[in-house]
Structure 1
Amino acid sequence: MSSDQRPDPSLAQAIDPTRLESIVCFLQSAAALKDTLRSGRTASGRQESTADHSWRLGLLAMLLADDLDGINLVRLLQLCLVHDLAEAITGDVPAPCQGPADGRKARERAALRDLCAPLPEDLRHRVEALCEDYESCGSPESLIAKGLDKIETMLQHLIGANPAGFDYRFNLSYGRQITDRHPLLRQMRSDVDAQTRRRIADERADAGTSQTFSA
């Protein structure tokens, strides 16, 4: 065979085209997380998205990896990436509005199935299993992911340009049943709670000053 008859290596298929197409289809649907808004605000006052939150949660997990003995970092990062995928369809429900009988978990499970439907079977099962693990807190990695999820949310509240009347006190009890279950989570929680109490005190002081000037 002459050189001009040999297949061009650059055109060789590294992945089955159908598999690749299904992955891209899923990815395009998951992009809705970029437009799924949460109640928290960024430092500039923009409402943050679920994608914003998931990215920073993954970054936090990566930075803490060397201090988390016995934790599989790859699995931890996978959990951080997929834990809120269903919100691409259901939207976010702020924690103060959640309740055990609100049907949210069933809606999110159904939404996740719909979202993952285009994926190849192996990837669909992998994503669904990760989300189930996260929800049940059935592994050391899911406990850390869930605890850091709470902490990342509270950290965002501390730097966010939140609207007047934002309830910082809610953070002092938010997710404590999770963050109390690991030493590193407890340590971080203690620091975040201290910062939250200072923020509450500052808000009170600012409110008092405004009332003095307006009187």
Structure 2
Amino acid sequence: MKKKAEKILSFLNAIEPLKCIARHSWCSNGRHESVPEHTWRMALMAILLEDEFPEIDIKKVLAMCIIHDIGEINGDIPAFQKDENDDLNEILELKKVIEVLPHEIESKIISLQKEFNSCQTPEAKLANALDKLEAIIQHNEADISTWDDIEYDLNLTYGQAYTDYHPFLKILRGLIKQATINKIQLHCK
């Protein structure tokens, strides 16, 4: 039991730098959002939406929300700049950082990451939708001067393919899109 605890502590120490990794998004106070701040709010969103998805395993969705960006331990790449090599590198980084864990936990995390990436199960579909929605919400909360030119159009459609499958997510995405439109219109006045 002590050995397992030591391995878990070693992993927790190894991922501490993730708290320092700035994402592309900015916070409303003018600083970059961190990776854990993004995953925390995704998890909060999952809890808030649980009643809309009675058929899902919320614990699995929460786990996917928390672990899906561990592979960004060496940096975040904005979604509009990512390619297959970046996704592969994130998986390699994930495997590298979790190898200190007991095998059964390591296997569980790898399985969750694969499920998230495949976006086939109800849990993975919801976690992916939350990933996209949270990113747009954060962009809307940041000062528009932090937006890249591509984001004016991208934020209007980003994640829509991940939310159209469920009525509640579709409504939520519509509200977020309207907030984006309002922000752009206010900025362009």
Secondary structure (helix, strand or coil) at the match of 1:192 reads helix
1:78 aligns with 2:63: yes
**Paired residues for 1:8-27 under 5 Å:** 16-27=1-12
Amino acid at match of 1:58: A
**Paired residues for 1:35-114 under 5 Å:** 35-89=20-74, 91-100=75-84, 103-114=85-96
Structure whose residues are more often helix by fraction: 2
Question: Which of the numbers 7, 14, 19 marks the counterpart of 1:29?
Answer: 14
Q: Cα distance, 1:165 vs. partner?
A: 5.3
1:193 aligns with 2:177: yes
The percentage of aligned residue pairs carrying the same residue is: 31
Q: Matches of 2:25 and 2:145 in 1, distance apart?
A: 9
Q: State whether residues 33 and 87 of structure 1, in contact with CA within 8 Å, keep that contact through their aligned partners in structure 2.
A: yes
Q: Cα distance, 1:66 vs. partner?
A: 1.4
Q: Matches of 1:98 and 1:184 in 2, distance apart?
A: 28
Amino acid at match of 1:104: D
In structure 2, relative to structure 1, the CA distance for the partners of 1:162 and 1:29 (3 Å cut) is farther
Secondary structure (helix, strand or coil) at the match of 1:38 reads strand
1:178 aligns with 2:167: no
Amino acid at match of 1:77: L
Q: Cα distance, 1:178 vs. partner?
A: 1.2
Q: State whether residues 26 and 142 of structure 2, in contact with CA within 8 Å, keep that contact through their aligned partners in structure 1.
A: yes
In structure 2, relative to structure 1, the CA distance for the partners of 1:165 and 1:52 (3 Å cut) is closer
Taking structure 1 as the reference length, the TM-score comes to 0.83
Aligned to 1:143: 125
Secondary structure (helix, strand or coil) at the match of 2:3 reads helix
Tell me the number of residue pairs that the alignment of Structure 1 and Structure 2 aligns.
187
Taking structure 2 as the reference length, the TM-score comes to 0.94
The unaligned stretches of length 5 or more in structure 1 are: 1-15, 206-215
Aligned to 1:154: 136
The unaligned stretches of length 5 or more in structure 2 are: none
Q: State whether residues 29 and 88 of structure 1, in contact with CA within 8 Å, keep that contact through their aligned partners in structure 2.
A: no
Q: Matches of 2:139 and 2:185 in 1, distance apart?
A: 15
Amino acid at match of 1:76: V
